[in-house]
Structure 1
Amino acid sequence: MNTWIRIAQISVTVITEIITMMKDVEKEKL
C-alpha cells in the first residue's frame, strides 16, 4: 500500500509540473 501511495504522490507532482509547463507555454505564445 505504501508503494501505491508513493506512486500516487509522484504522479500528482508530475501532473502539476506538466500543467505549470503548459501554462508557461501558453503565456509565451500569447
Structure 2
Amino acid sequence: MKQRPRIYYTESQKKLMSDTQPRFGRFRLQ
C-alpha cells in the first residue's frame, strides 16, 4: 500500500512511547 519513510513511523511511535513509557523511549532514543 502506502510506502512512507520509517522516520514518519518512528516519530509517531517515539512520541507514543515517550508518553506511555518515558524510560523506555529515552533508552531507545539513546
Give TM-score, length-normalised by structure 2: 0.44
Give TM-score, length-normalised by structure 1: 0.44
Which structure's CA Rg is the greater one? Answer: 1
